[in-house]
Amino acid sequence: MVKIYLLSTFFTNPFQVSSQNFIADTSGKAFALHNAVNLYHRFLSPENGLYDGSEYTYYIYYPYTINEGHPFFQTKDFDTGSVFYNNMLYEKVPLLFDIVHEELLINDPSHIFIIRLNTARIGWFIISGHTFVHLFSDSINHTVLNPGFYDLLYNGNTSLFKKVSKVLMENTASSEGIKEYIAESDEYFIKKNKQYYRIKNKKSLMLIVNSNKKEVEQFIRKNKLNLKKDLDNSLVKIVAYYDGINNDKKADN
């Protein structure tokens, strides 16, 4: 049975979730709320609120054989995760993320067909150990973001996001006829002072952390970080270090 918790109390806006909302509330109030909701939902199986999407048919989206790659995040198989959906947190849910169409998939209660969840109702979800946050464009702050799901790599006052994109392509020059394949690309963004910045290269990264540029450059050299060969881990360490510097400054003031 899917575990479910009512968490709207702890989220300022479930569909425009800030990176600060993922810190667990361990207060007695939260514990009591979890117990009450668990008791209520013991008698709801299956959880009707989760299974309200339309049917997903793989062969409608992908009618031809994909010769290289696949459209999903990491694996073509369902993986147990969690999803904050329509103001509810559902845990221990088999999930599959179609990156090409940016659709989160679940099995129906009878495991007969696949359901695609309503994207507008998804606040965030966790799959394969990665937390994907539903972010939106912000015309007021002229954000560089396109709306969609972003992998939250580091969560702090300064946060790091990764946008994983996949596109279905055709190779018409193949001697075997038309061959379809998946092309994958990644983009990285830093959220700093409520503004998003795209990281294109090391130079753009240094511009974002300009207030502590010397310290960050020393940190990179000291820890022998390689942004070309190990970009994810390097950026996580750099942003965490930069975030720590700024937090220390705020504490001193």
Give average pLDDT by consecutive 10-residue segment, the chain, 253 residues. 45 37 46 52 58 89 91 94 91 95 92 92 95 81 80 94 95 74 95 90 90 92 91 95 79 55
pLDDT of residue 6: 44
Whether 216 and 245 share a structural domain: yes
167 neighbors 120 (Cβ within 8 angstroms):
no
For residue 228, what are the domain limits?
A: 201-253
Cα atoms found within 13 Å of the Cα of residue 15, Cβ hemisphere only: 7
Same domain, 40 and 151: yes
122 and 237 together in one domain: no
> Could you tell me if residue 67 is left (phi over 0), alpha (psi between -120 and 50 degrees) or otherwise beta?
alpha
For residues 159 and 217, membership in a common domain is answered with: no
Q: Point out the domain boundary residue: 199, 217, 234.
A: 199
Residue 88 sits in the same domain as residue 187:
yes
Half-sphere exposure of 162 (CA within 13 A, CB side): 19
Residue type at 82 in one-letter notation: S
The residue out of 184, 199, 214 marking a domain boundary is 199
As for how many domains the chain has, the answer is 2
Q: Are residues 166 and 215 in the same domain?
A: no
246 Cβ contact list (under 8 Å, min separation 6): 157, 158, 211, 212
- Predicted pLDDT of residue 240: 95
The verdict on 110 and 148 lying in the same domain is yes
pTM score, two decimals? 0.80
